[in-house]
Structures are given as C-alpha cells and as structure tokens.
Amino acid sequence: QVQLVESGGGSVQAGGSLRLSCAASGLTYSRYCMGWFRQAPGKEREGVAGLDSDGRTKYVDSVKGRFTISQDNAKRIFYLQMNSLKPEDTAMYYCAAQMGLCSGVSFPRVNGYNYWGQGTQVTVSS
C-alpha cells in the first residue's frame, strides 16, 4: 500500500519561498516516477514538476527557473523547492507517484499516476 503525505504548504508574500515535502511509504520498487501537481479553485489539476524513473526532471514553463524538484532516495522523501513565488502559484499542491518504469505516465499529464497524496495548500499574496 503506497501512501503519500505532503507537508510544507503555507501562506507567503509574493517573492517568497516554500519547500514542500512528500513522504512516501510503500514504494517497494527500485524504480518509480513521481510528480508535483497543483489545482487552483475552478481550474483543472496541472503538472508542475516531474521526476521520471531514470531520475530526470521536467518542469512546466510557468515554473522553470523558480521551482526545483528533488528527492532523498534513502528516505523516500520528495521535495519541491519553490522560489520567487507569485500570486498565480496559489493552489492546492499534490504529489503523485507510480511504481516501475511508468510506461503509462506522460508528465505533465495527470493520467498514469496511481498514487496521490491529500494535498497541501499554498497561498501567495501580492
């Protein structure tokens, strides 16, 4: 049973930083992929940053140069460092994971990730 638990959200002013964490348990495969997604009220869930089964990273254009995805492989904790935050970054942030070679995953699409956390709220004020 895979469980993902996000933490680290909060309220910051524009230009500030936050680091989100996603603690994963039950990731029994040596290879997996994961992603950070966000959903603002009234909008569809969108990909933010992804990590494929080879450890390569991918970002959507709106966060490139500002957000960094990383992992502590030994602890199975994934991070999203968010700098230079903007009001439009306000959303509920979710981490998602899939085990194995992730053939069904095509980040930044939502489809293909079988496991999702409960989300952590990020609010950026101007």
Reply yes or no on whether the pLDDT at 23 is more than 90. yes
> Rounded to 5, what percent of the chain is helix, strand, coil?
5, 50, 45
Q: What is the mean pLDDT of the chain?
A: 94
d(C-alpha 22, C-alpha 7), whole Å = 7
User: For position 104, what pLDDT does the model report?
Assistant: 84
Query: What tens digit of pLDDT does each residue of 47-105 get?
Result: 999 999 898 999 999 999 999 999 998 889 999 999 999 999 999 999 999 988 888 88
User: Around Cβ 60, how many Cβ atoms within 10 Å?
Assistant: 17
